[in-house]
Amino acid sequence: MNQRRNSRARSGFSMIELMAVLVIMGLLVTVVATNFMSKVEGARRTTTVASLKVLHNAVKMFKMETGRYATADEGLDALVEQPMDIENYPVAGYLDTTDVPPDGWGEVFIYQEYPESGKPFVIISFGADKVEGGEGLDADLYSTDS
């Protein structure tokens, strides 16, 4: 009878066992969340690089059809809104959307005429940190990088 009484008393988990399980679960959740967030940031970067290529090609198409690049004042809006001095502007513009898309972090792309690289134009995303400069996911992305 003593054995029965002891086995009934030990049938549940001790506080230490419960705490150990909670600590292990917390560590697993932390690892999974960290991996998930790095995948999300990588996807944002990939989306931004793809958008930069589309916008860069659209600006080149604008140049081929109008004989000039968009001015700094017009910026990328010239791809979706007809500039005053352009007559044969396509009805749908130069993008498949009615607005210039944001980068993967929801920020506006920067359009620069004649940057230091010597190219006629560049389109820039400031990356995950949304400020100029940075490394890794925070690094600036340029349409002229290929």
Q: pLDDT band at 75, cuts 50/70/90?
A: very high
Nearest-5° Cα angle at 115, 127 to 96:
60
**Average pLDDT of the segment spanning 128-139:** 90
Parallel/antiparallel/unpaired status of strands 110-113 and 121-125: antiparallel
Instruction: With a cut of 80, say whether residue 8 has pLDDT above it.
Output: no
Q: pLDDT band at 7, cuts 50/70/90?
A: low
112: domain CATH number is 3.30.700.10
Number of domains present in the structure of the chain? 1
What is the pTM (predicted TM-score) of this model? 0.76
Instruction: With a cut of 70, say whether residue 9 has pLDDT above it.
Output: no
Q: In what order do the strands lie in the sheet with 121-125?
A: 110-113, 121-125, 141-142
Nearest-5° Cα angle at 82, 76 to 54:
35
Q: Quote the domain boundaries for residue 109.
A: 2-142
The predicted pLDDT at position 41 comes to: 86
CA distance 143 to 122: 6
